Amino acid sequence: MALPVLFGANVDPVWQEPKAPLRQALAAERLGLDLVTVQDHPYQAAFYDTWTLVTYLVARTERITLVPTVSSLPLRPPAVLAKSAASLDVLSGGRIQLGLGAGAFWEAIEAMGGPRRSRKEAVDALTEAVSVVRAMWSGERSVRTTGEHYAVSGVHPGPHPGPGLGLWLGAYGPRTLALTGARADGWLPSHAYLGLDRLPDAVRRLDDAAAEAGRDPASLRKIYNVAGHIGGADRGAFHGPLSRWRDDIATTVAEHGMNGIVFWPTDDYGRQMSVFAEELVPLVREDLATRDPAPQIEE
């Protein structure tokens, strides 16, 4: 069965205006959106620590789900990260998802004390981290995993998260797409790095990996991060009038199989987010409802 289509807002973890992230998260909740995502780049001087901010936002909101997009694995030991996510899942009543990525910006990671990894090493480490996270969420009394980069040896996991806590990976290459399809619960690509021209092939790789692993591809949460401006002249995908955005999002969902859209306004944040939630999302829901087969639309 197809998952409901979700709509969300990105909130940057900037601290220069201390309450701006909270104001934006509260606005997203008030506007009826489903998700708030927060990017994780701990080496950025302009950013709060993402997990600290996410915890704060969960405590100050009531309904909306928070997602780090995506946690920087080289700076976040996976056993501790899994425990943090499980703890916040229990405390929040299930309003957290664990977004995780292999890492990027290696010089900055190394400057902060993290490892510098080759592409192969980064994917190997992510694969091992998935095993660690799954073990930590297993509910078993004692768990062990093996790996060159990450392993646990008889650790006692806890707390046990609810069934809704998922592991969503930021994946683009063949190996990480295969890993996501086979072992993750969701996928968090960005239009800036995976355009509409390449999206169908990536979705096919993901779905094929899921099917090969005996999983239903339709059960995977597939969130597309899109940055742009709503309004003005048509300047290509996700830049232009409501009609252009409506077509781009409906195509992304109905034809390419994505089941979530997170908006990253490039300017005029408050006004753009209002237009997205109050004008664009209803148009997209209306369009998707007329298509056959109709995906589920979460109100």
Domain of residue 279 covers: 6-289
Give the pLDDT score at 290.
86
Using DSSP, state whether 71 is helix, strand or coil: strand
pLDDT at 89 over 90: yes
224 domain-assigned: yes
Q: State the total domains in the chain.
A: 1
Query: What confidence tens digit (pLDDT) does each residue in 204-258 have?
Result: 999 999 999 999 999 999 999 999 999 999 999 999 999 999 999 999 999 999 9
Region of residue 139 (phi > 0: left; psi between -120 and 50: alpha; otherwise: beta): left
- Determine the Cα–Cα distance for residues 284 and 199; give it in Å rounded to an integer: 19
Q: How far is CA 29 from CA 9, 60, 192, in A?
A: 9, 11, 25
Query: What confidence tens digit (pLDDT) does each residue in 125-168 have?
Result: 999 999 999 999 999 999 999 999 999 999 999 999 999 999 99
- Which two three-digit tokens encode residue 68? 């780090």
Using DSSP, state whether 130 is helix, strand or coil: helix
pLDDT band, very low/low/confident/very high, at 299 (cuts 50, 70, 90): very low
140 domain-assigned: yes
66 domain-assigned: yes
- Determine the Cα–Cα distance for residues 164 and 51; give it in Å rounded to an integer: 19
298 domain-assigned: no
- Report the CATH number at residue 193: 3.20.20.30
Give the pLDDT score at 9.
98
Q: What DSSP state is assigned to residue 291?
A: S
pLDDT at 292 over 80: no
262 domain-assigned: yes
299 domain-assigned: no
Specify whether the CB–CB gap between 65 and 96 falls below 8 A.
yes
The DSSP-derived string for 171-208 is --SHHHHHHHHHH-SEE--BTTTS-TTTHHHHHHHHHH
- Which amino acid, one-letter code, is at 84? S
232 domain-assigned: yes
20 domain-assigned: yes
CB atoms within 10 A of CB 217: 17
**How many percent of the chain have pLDDT more than 70?**
97
